[in-house]
Amino acid sequence: MESIIETTKRPHALCIPYPAQGHINPMLKLAKLLHQKGFHISFVNTVFNHNRIIRSQAPNSLDGLPDFRFYSIPDGLSPSNPDATQDIPLLCKYTAINCLAPLCNLISRLNDSSLSEVPPVTCIVSDGVMSFTLKAAEQFGVPEVLLWTTSACGLLAYMQYHQLVGRGYAPLEDMSCVTNGYLDTVIDWVPGMKDMTLKDFPSFIRTTDPNDVMLNFVIDETAALPTARALILNTFDTLEQDALDAIFAAQPHIYTVGPLHLMMNQIQDNRLDAINLSLWKEENDKQTANTVA
């Protein structure tokens, strides 16, 4: 066993995913890989999802390990169905407003040797759409790396939203643009993306509202990309080289670590196998094959 002195000298990554299943899963895989490389892990869910995971699995499902621990912070949203996905636009709008202070308080507690027997936080690994965490990294003087859970092409497409708005392609003039052929408009000025049309971009641009929450959320989050220490993408170079080269202009420190599900084969600590952050009740697995869960 490691002594307390040895434990407190380990690098400590605080991992915080966007609070939805498709973002939690890749962050958990990355956290397990970092643990395999010697990191102490603090994995931070929202209180809503923390409780939902416990209900979906078992009361002890988030007990974790001495060096792979789970914590929760409030998202500040009004109570909703405890076993359903929360309203995504509301999450996007309010996580940045409500989560920063609780996150900073958590880091302060983890760094207080009189309250905690874990090493001080040495880096933050945040979901790419949780860029408010960059303020916490700055406050505590630690580097932050962003994990974007989309493909490189997906991220590059999101990075064009500000240009699409600036050039007048979005928001839509009216909703008839969705069906009248307007979305077939060729967009030929995006480096690394050939033969693109408007319909090939993620659908948040298909709004008529210049104040649309999701449209502006994407613009704000991609604008933060250059300020992170580095970017992690769940892809590999030969699959998306052109897109990666284009992203490099905004963020030159790119780590392609995919496919993450295959990288799991490198993990030798069998204790991590039991850590599963499914938000869905186990009863769903027992439904018949012709049932839609």
**pLDDT higher than threshold 70 for residue 2:** no
- Distance CA(288)–CA(167), nearest Å, equals 50
pLDDT of the residue at 280: 75
**pLDDT higher than threshold 50 for residue 121:** yes
**pLDDT higher than threshold 80 for residue 49:** yes
The residue ranking higher by pLDDT, 53 or 281, is 53
Maximum mean pLDDT: which of 87-91, 92-96, 186-190? 186-190
Establish how many alpha carbons lie within 13 A of residue 164's alpha carbon, considering only the half-sphere containing its beta carbon: 33
pLDDT of the residue at 290: 46
pLDDT tens per residue, range 236-263: 999 999 999 999 999 999 999 989 999 8
Q: Is the Cβ–Cβ distance between 243 and 152 less than 8 Å?
A: yes
**pLDDT higher than threshold 90 for residue 12:** yes
Look at 9-13, 48-52, 64-68, 81-85 and tell me which has the smallest mean pLDDT: 81-85
pLDDT tens per residue, range 190-231: 999 999 999 999 999 999 999 999 999 999 999 999 999 999
> Coil, strand or helix: which one is 145?
strand
Comparing CA positions, the residue from 108, 133, 205 lying closest to residue 166 is: 205
Q: Is the Cβ–Cβ distance between 12 and 34 less than 8 Å?
A: no
| Rounded average pLDDT over 25-50 | 96
Quick one: pLDDT band at residue 6, thresholds 50, 70, 90?
low
| Rounded average pLDDT over 75-93 | 85
- Domains in the chain, start-ordered, CATH in brackets? 4-149+259-286 (3.40.50.2000)
**pLDDT higher than threshold 90 for residue 187:** yes
- Residues noted as catalytic: 23, 127
| Rounded average pLDDT over 183-189 | 97
**pLDDT higher than threshold 50 for residue 292:** no
The residue ranking higher by pLDDT, 180 or 284, is 180
Quick one: pLDDT band at residue 79, thresholds 50, 70, 90?
confident
pLDDT of the residue at 82: 77
pLDDT of the residue at 4: 52
pLDDT of the residue at 284: 44
**Bridge partners (DSSP) listed for residue 40:** 12
| Rounded average pLDDT over 87-116 | 93
Quick one: pLDDT band at residue 291, thresholds 50, 70, 90?
very low
73-103: b (≥16 Cβ within 10 Å) or e: bebebeeeeeeeebeeeebbbbbbebbbebb
Q: Is the Cβ–Cβ distance between 131 and 125 less than 8 Å?
A: no
Mean pLDDT of the residues in the chain: 91
Q: Is the Cβ–Cβ distance between 40 and 6 less than 8 Å?
A: no
Q: Is the Cβ–Cβ distance between 166 and 219 less than 8 Å?
A: no
Amino acid letter, 140 = F
**Bridge partners (DSSP) listed for residue 210:** none
Structure tokens of 234? 């769940």
Q: What is the CA radius of gyration of the chain?
A: 20
| Rounded average pLDDT over 79-100 | 87
